[in-house]
Amino acid sequence: MADIQSLKHQFVQLYGGSEEGIRVFHAPGRVNLIGEHTDYNGGYVFPAALTFGTTVLLRPRQDGKLALASTNFELRGVLPLDAISYKKEDDWMNYPKGIVHELQSRGVSFGGGFELLYHGEIPNGAGLSSSASIEVATAFALLKAVGQPADTVEIAKLSQKSENEFNGMQCGIMDQFAVANGRKDHAILLMCDTLEYDFVPFQSGSYKLVIGNTNKRRGLVDSAYNERRSQCEQAVADLRQAFPSLALLGQINLEQFNANAHLIQDETVRRRARHVVEEIDRVLRSIEVLKANDLVAFGKLMNGSHDSLRDLYEVTGAELDAMAAAAQGVEGVLGSRMTGAGFGGCTVSLVHEDAIERFKDEVGRKYTEATGLVADFYICSIGNGVEELI
């Protein structure tokens, strides 16, 4: 967690005045334990909030403007609240601007405006939801500051809408939902179509979650993400021959898919759809084995998920494949898979606590040999969703 006193000092240096009236909020990053590229297909995902994320300091001002600054980026701005619009050159500031725009469109008034300072602990571009963390923290902080209800399910929805419409990134609901609604020592079984959810205790005992950052930056908008979405939509269109009311791949089960996969004309589209339906099935089996405290079986499902993302959905890439393969070969590792949208970013592995140093050494060495890049590793705990700290 960030050093709050140091951040307050930086806030006063930046904006003047005193520390009086500064409020502090935190939204975590997230890791998805299993269930990748199922969210926008209306299927199940199984994410968990992390203990590190984005801290936001906020204080009212009186000139009708929004002041944005970050400890992570040099770019900062003071923007009139009555003229909020997307500008590419505003870079990271478009995430809080999108939230302000979305809240304004819902009739929320921000009075004289606010000063905000962001401090992010999530590696940018790593696939641990730095943008969702900024969005959710901003929405929660602003709603609290103006005395409006800060319903975390609604915050997740408006944050996703902001990213989809203001920032033009067609992400699903999972990232924002996990960031807004996480619970310590629990993962969230979330049905993305209906937003029905359940907290599942994640009791890994002597095994720890280790996130491996490939340090291969991924540009989602520039990647094949939107192409995968359209391929899934094509699969749904083909499958309507058997299921006329089908809207999303998550609405059919594996048995139904296997009986009707031949209706999908394009072989690539068929592989994409197979990944989605099989991955949703893996999520549901994961819940069963975790409730039975069978971590070995869960690890095997993690490995199967990575294989499918590599072979059927084709979103891993050389770096993630090299890291996952190295991790799966270390004694004391039950499972390892890419997490996030892919094309770089991170893996998540379930590692015995006695094997963590060996894991970091072996995986780090093999990964560098394979790619020329240097990996970073984070030993993770599962934390709470968005909250006010002070």
d(CA 71, CA 267): 47
Please identify which of the residues 3, 82, 175, 311 carries the catalytic annotation.
175
Structure tokens at 98: 């999108």
Active site residue 175: yes
> In one letter, which amino acid is 119?
H
Euclidean distance between CA atoms 144 and 117, whole angstroms: 16
Burial class (CB in 10 A: 0-12, 13-18, 19+), 3: exposed
Question: 15-21 — which CB contacts under 8 Å span 24+ positions?
Answer: 15/59, 15/67, 15/115, 15/117, 17/59, 21/59, 21/60
Report the distance separating Cα 326 and Cα 367, nearest Å: 7
Signed CA dihedral, 50, 51, 57, 58: sign only: positive
> Strand 376-380 relative to strand 23-32: parallel, antiparallel, unpaired?
unpaired
Q: Which residues are catalytic?
A: 175
